[in-house]
Amino acid sequence: MDFAPLIQTPRLVLKRPYPVTFALAEEIYEAVDASREHIAEWLPWASTMNSAEDEFVYLKNYCEKKWDEQTGFAYMIRRLDNDEFLGMIDLVHINHKFFSTEIGYWLKQSACGFGYMTEAVLGLEKEAFRQGFHRIVIGTDVKNLKSASVAKNAGYHLDGVLRNDRFDESKNIFCDSNVWSKLKTEV
């Protein structure tokens, strides 16, 4: 696979976080820290991302490594007009045998409500389908209506609910997940 390191949409640029620098880690960490409660409600990793150093390790040991191994492709989401960092989007759970993958994403709180994530999903899916993927999945907590609206607005089909498929340690409860999908033949 030869994923583009930069994907442009009408208002956004999806850009591979490379080269990884401490300044880049600081910029991303600042967005996480400013939106910690907003992100942590749905993504448990937000409570463990406690410094720019933690972010740097994540960018080097996860994002860069996965890209090099062709097992994951992470992108920063930036506004096209002013380069403002808005969040992250990535392809995970890549299955080369069945040509399927999953999209994960988060936005800083101040960037929510403008349709940025739907636009980013559509941009990344276009690249994934260009690379030969047949099926893309988005998983959302059944209570996360904003994330579900991204999948719905991007034209994903609700396949069903996985009951008690995750355990949220911070809330000490099992959670249900919606599974949304789109096939290459549906675009």
pLDDT recorded at residue 71: 94
pLDDT recorded at residue 168: 87
Q: What is the mean pLDDT of residues 51-76?
A: 97
Can you tell me the distance from the alpha carbon of 131 to that of 136, in angstroms, rounded to the nearest whole number? 12
Contact 136, 6 (CB under 8 A): no
Say if domain 6-133 classifies as CATH 3.40.630.30.
yes
Q: Looking at the predicted structure, is the pLDDT value of residue 98 above 90? A: yes
Each residue's pLDDT tens digit, 145-176: 999 999 999 999 999 999 999 998 888 999 99
Six-digit token string for 125: 């899916």
| Confidence category of residue 54, pLDDT binned at 50, 70, 90 | very high
Sign of CA pseudo-dihedral 80, 127, 183, 86 = negative
CA 121 from centroid of its chain's CA atoms: 8
Pick the closest to residue 157 from 135, 129, 174 (CA basis). Answer: 135
pLDDT recorded at residue 143: 96
Query: What 8-state DSSP symbol labels residue 12?
Result: E
Residue ranges per structural domain of the chain: 6-133
